[in-house]
Structure 1
Amino acid sequence: MLLTNWLNTLTSRIKKRPTFRSRDRRAIRRRWQTIFNNQISTAEVLEDRTLLTTYFVDDDYTGATDFTGTDTDPVAVGDQNAVFGVTAFATIEEAVDKVNVTADPAGATILVAAGTYTPTLTMTISASVTIQGPQAGVDPRPGSGSLRDETDPTTEAIIDGSGALSRIFLIDANNVTLDGLVITNGTGDLVRSSNPVNQVIVQNNIIHNSSGDEGVQLANASNSTIQYNYIFDTEGDGANLDTATNSSIRFNEMNNIRSTNAAIFVDDSEG
């Protein structure tokens, strides 16, 4: 009796299981496909926002250069080879100009190969970017045992103002990093910011021979850092913070600083 009742209940439930006509099944499939496609589109949009285009600079590049092995998009599968005049350049000015025009909110990276670069104009950076020389991440301070040679274009990216430029870099954007470069031979501040900027990092650089002013001056900067640089032979301060907030000068080595102020000068700054 109990078994009969159980079988009757099971049979009744099976008979009541919902059924769908083919038209209903097609509608359900379409709804699921729409949801799935929307999820993919959302993921693609989120991914696009995080991509950082990489630009390559080498003073030996020409239109005939084989760019096999370069990768302008480190997130995408495989190597996205650079194209001369688009993502590969023979001068740093051209790469900076490209970054400024593109102005990707996520920022960009410029990889500068060893060599000698002689810009003819101050390079104004107006978009977020990280510029890395071949010695990025390498401490240049002799007192810390560094063997880096600021005169060797086979191991360093030497940016030489030739005594004709007042400033080499003028930083006019947030989230800018200069790392692993040699910056030399200007008549004013070799690296400078003037308009309000946030999160500027100047690190692991050899900065020398300013005949008229500072090695690095960050004015109106917030949350910014000048660190692990070797700065020498400047007419003005080695490193300077002017009207800065929550910013620091630390772990730098300086000598032959001829400023009447000091090797390190901080004015009207806080935090």
Structure 2
Amino acid sequence: MATINLTAGVNDVVQGNPAEADIVVVPAGSLITENDFVFNFQTPDRLDLTAFPVLTSTNDVFIQPLQGGAVRVSSPLFGQITLIGITAAQLTQNNFIFAGTQNLADLTIQKSASATSVLPGGNLTYTLVVSNVGQAGASGIVVRDTLPPGFTITSTVGAGGFTTTPSAAGTVEFTGGTLAPGASATLTITGTAPATAGTAINTAVVDPGGLIPEVTEANNTATFAVTVGAAPIPTAVYVDDNLAGTAAGATVAVDPDGTGPQQPVTGLVFGQTAFASIQNALDFLLGVGAPANATVFVAPGTYNEFVNFVRPFILLGPNANIDPVTQGGTRVDEAIIGSGVNGGGIGFERTVPSNNGPVTIAGFSFASKIQPAPGTLGGYGIDLTDSNGNVTIRNNIFENDVVGIGNRISSQGVSITSNIIIEQNLFNMSGGTPTLQTPFVAMALQQVNGAAIRNNRINAATGLAIDPRLTPSQAQRFGQPVGSPVPGAPSSGFNVTGNLFTGFFPYPTPASPLAPPLSPSGQQAIVNFGSGTFSIDDASNSLVQPNVTGLTLV
């Protein structure tokens, strides 16, 4: 807005900018000639007559219509001024500023958004607060918001008499607002952010045409910037089997601790922080380069899937902190892995040696129930093969028909697994079909360097089998007879303490040469088929089964 100062006693010819609202300041003194013109005087322009305190209204000035759309305003105090571009009918009290009597509206606008950063195509709401901080009311107020390119409008809400009218693409206009002095109105625009990354800037203007006389128009514009970019790399994601079929990008809630829907984790976005399967969550973390200590929280439910770890992450079920052996706390509904027709379980494919960070798996129930062919190892709850080691398995329940936790060497002479912690797990390895000579082993570990097995309760035909003999598939790979000892260095560094071995039952070693012996006669709790030495504390490991006569068999 330009301010034009006339000079007393000088013939001023002023060419104003038609696109701007001007204030023409008339000074005390003589302006007596008809050559004092203000060209392009428009409806919002004003004559500032505050230099003449005796002038208090348009009744104190003489307004004379002229031909061609002009008005002559005159007074003995300042002479005469000719206004071009306005008629006498258009000239009102609002076009004059009188000393001490001018009460005008003063419209302001503030703009905010529901977020300062958002994903491409993410939901976004802009909020406009229009206020009148002046001394006079205003009506017929217009607010125009020019939205960022690519922003898609889904809804608009007005208040204070404002309604939305159709407008050009990329803009929203609210019209018809009325605000008394001191009043405000809140307007909202909801939609989706642009699909491409960048800075989304939009500008809102109140009274864009300058039709309402105001104290100042300097506060009539507000601008807000939102960063549209890739999602921050998460350190935690959530899994809930109830989310199957959820559309990508939907906002969801999950209940990972199973304490009920009254305490869900809310505000998660499906496909970004929430998933229907464990594998999808792990794949997402891998794809976005999440850190090794990123955590996957799994809600109660059934997950009939084979989960494959390629990178080290933390996998926590709803009972991650509840010991199923001592029942130190009440376990909530379980997250069950592998109870379907096709079974399921957890495996590893961390073939890159640098991917050797720690993995924690805690708080699940494994129920594969897969009955393999006679004499074979299958139906693992957790298969540590190719895991690179550094795995902690804690507070889980294993009800597999075959092997709860195990590994199988895949390269001769290579120690493929190291630094394993198996603690506070309940192994209830029973059921199945005995005529199929399934071994029912809680833990079967081949060529493991460093294992702490402590404070577990183990109900199985064999509690712990160390370096079990080669299976048919392994024998074929290594070119050795089935049932041969594991080639390479034997397992070592085992520390077995505080375990309760119970529930053993006579189960003869299979007679078939295709069936590697995993349960020698006598039903031992711990069976070492190799030549390694171990730290096994007889005093702290308990046996409660009459036909089990010892802890180890070498």
In structure 1, the residue matched to 2:504 is: 257
Deviation track 1:148-193 (CA, whole Å, cap 9, x = no partner) reads 679x54897433213356212211222222222222233x322112
Provide the rounded CA distance (Å) in 1 between the counterparts of 2:425 and 2:279: 18
Are 1:110 and 2:296 counterparts? yes
Matched residue type, 1:253 = L
Provide the rounded CA distance (Å) in 1 between the counterparts of 2:421 and 2:532: 17
Provide the rounded CA distance (Å) in 2 between the counterparts of 1:204 and 1:103: 32
Cα pair distance change 1:175/1:104, threshold 3 Å: farther
Map 1:30-49 to 2 at 5 A: none
Matched residue type, 1:246 = G
Map 1:178-193 to 2 at 5 A: 178-186=393-401, 188-193=402-407
Q: Secondary structure at the match of 1:199?
A: strand
Provide the rounded CA distance (Å) in 2 between the counterparts of 1:168 and 1:137: 19
Picking from 368, 383, 387, the partner of 1:161 is 368
Cα pair distance change 1:270/1:238, threshold 3 Å: same
In structure 2, the residue matched to 1:238 is: 463
In structure 2, the residue matched to 1:128 is: 312
Q: Secondary structure at the match of 2:400?
A: strand
Map 1:31-70 to 2 at 5 A: 53-62=235-244, 63=246, 66-67=252-253
Deviation track 1:104-145 (CA, whole Å, cap 9, x = no partner) reads 7735433333333333x4x4444433333333243322xx46
- Given that 2:335 and 2:365 are in contact with CA atoms closer than 8 Å, whether structure 1 keeps it comes out as no
Q: Which runs of 5+ in 1 are unaligned?
A: 1-50, 71-78
Q: Which of the pair is proportionally richer in helix?
A: 1
Q: Secondary structure at the match of 1:270?
A: coil
In structure 2, the residue matched to 1:6 is: none
Deviation track 1:180-217 (CA, whole Å, cap 9, x = no partner) reads 2222233x322112241122222222222354231122
- Given that 1:135 and 1:179 are in contact with CA atoms closer than 8 Å, whether structure 2 keeps it comes out as no
| TM-score of the two chains, using structure 2 as the length reference | 0.31
User: How many equivalent residue pairs?
Assistant: 205
Deviation track 1:71-101 (CA, whole Å, cap 9, x = no partner) reads xxxxxxxx99754345533333444555677
Provide the rounded CA distance (Å) in 1 between the counterparts of 2:273 and 2:445: 29
| TM-score of the two chains, using structure 1 as the length reference | 0.58
Map 1:64-79 to 2 at 5 A: 66-67=252-253
Provide the rounded CA distance (Å) in 1 between the counterparts of 2:240 and 2:532: 38
Provide the rounded CA distance (Å) in 2 between the counterparts of 1:53 and 1:89: 15
Q: Secondary structure at the match of 1:238?
A: strand
Q: Secondary structure at the match of 2:252?
A: coil
- Given that 2:240 and 2:254 are in contact with CA atoms closer than 8 Å, whether structure 1 keeps it comes out as no
- Given that 2:252 and 2:267 are in contact with CA atoms closer than 8 Å, whether structure 1 keeps it comes out as no
Deviation at 1:66, TM superposition (A): 1.9
Cα pair distance change 1:87/1:230, threshold 3 Å: farther
Q: Which of the pair is proportionally richer in strand?
A: 2
- Given that 1:184 and 1:208 are in contact with CA atoms closer than 8 Å, whether structure 2 keeps it comes out as yes
Are 1:175 and 2:390 counterparts? yes
Q: Which runs of 5+ in 2 are unaligned?
A: 1-232, 257-264, 337-362, 372-377, 410-415, 433-437, 468-489, 506-518, 535-554
Provide the rounded CA distance (Å) in 2 between the counterparts of 1:206 and 1:86: 34
Picking from 518, 529, 533, the partner of 1:270 is 533
Q: Which has the higher contact order (CA 8 A, sep 6+)?
A: 1
- Given that 2:274 and 2:281 are in contact with CA atoms closer than 8 Å, whether structure 1 keeps it comes out as yes
In structure 1, the residue matched to 2:447 is: 220
In structure 1, the residue matched to 2:262 is: none
Cα pair distance change 1:199/1:257, threshold 3 Å: same
Picking from 197, 220, 223, the partner of 2:417 is 197
Provide the rounded CA distance (Å) in 2 between the counterparts of 1:134 and 1:69: 9
Cα pair distance change 1:146/1:178, threshold 3 Å: same
Provide the rounded CA distance (Å) in 2 between the counterparts of 1:176 and 1:269: 21
Q: Secondary structure at the match of 1:246?
A: strand
- Given that 1:125 and 1:170 are in contact with CA atoms closer than 8 Å, whether structure 2 keeps it comes out as no
Provide the rounded CA distance (Å) in 1 between the counterparts of 2:254 and 2:298: 17
Deviation track 1:14-56 (CA, whole Å, cap 9, x = no partner) reads xxxxxxxxxxxxxxxxxxxxxxxxxxxxxxxxxxxxx993343
Matched residue type, 1:115 = G
- Given that 2:322 and 2:331 are in contact with CA atoms closer than 8 Å, whether structure 1 keeps it comes out as no
User: Superposition RMSD on alpha carbons, in Å?
Assistant: 3.9
